[in-house]
Amino acid sequence: METTLDLPVVSDQHAFNLERWEEICADPVLAAYEFRIETDRYGHPTMMPPPGIDHGAYQSTISFHLRRLLKGGKVLTECPVSTADGIKGVDVVWISTARIVEARRNNVLVRAPEICVEVISPSNTRDEIAEKKRLYFNAGADEVWLCDARGRMTFFCKANPGQGRASSALCSRFPVQLSE
């Protein structure tokens, strides 16, 4: 026997993500946590401990190089991006001025920045990183970069997202090895 429930239907994932994110950001209990918060596609908050010192150092170094090498945009850290799987906090992004005007809805981007960078943490799995790459490309990223625990950079572009590149097409002078 089938039961009909009066449950909302999510027909616009971005609108749902934004509404849920606004609720989460306004929640004083969640605001008191020192954890990073993301959501899944159902709007459930996912909490993670803040990144470690090495993780933060690589975020800072990546931000420095992006600011130095690319003009006409902004570099942001822990940037909330609406994806098909909820709101994800991208470690570092570079977004053009034109795209930020078009993509920003309150404090969330509904279109991914041109460059999304993930600094890989010891707890990350191969499948998790592959999923994040897929989500960022599907949300509109042109490139997704990965920084491993030794500061080695791998660059991926939307034309061939499964194949790592030796350099970025958007920022060819970005170093492939970051110092600690």
Contacts of 19 (CB under 8 A, 6+ apart): none
Residue closest to 152 by CA, chosen among 178, 180, 115: 178
Rounded to whole angstroms, the Cα distance separating 106 from 85 reads 19
Q: What is the pLDDT of residues 64-117, one digit of tens each?
A: 999 999 999 999 999 999 999 999 999 999 999 999 999 998 889 999 999 999
**Could you give phi then psi for residue 43, rounded to 5 degrees?**
85, 5
Question: Taking 60 as the threshold, does the pLDDT of residue 150 lie above it?
Answer: yes
Sorted by where each begins, the domain ranges of the chain are: 13-46, 51-165
pLDDT digits 0-9 by tens, 117-142: 999 998 899 999 999 999 999 999 99
Q: In the prediction, which pLDDT does 159 show?
A: 93
pTM recorded for the entire structure: 0.91
Query: 174, 153 in Cβ contact below 8 A?
Result: yes
Q: Residue 6 pLDDT > 70, yes or no?
A: no
Query: Does residue 9 have a pLDDT over 80?
Result: no
CA–CA separation, 35 and 29 (whole Å): 12
What's the topology of domain 51-165?
Answer: tt1808, chain A (3.90.1570)
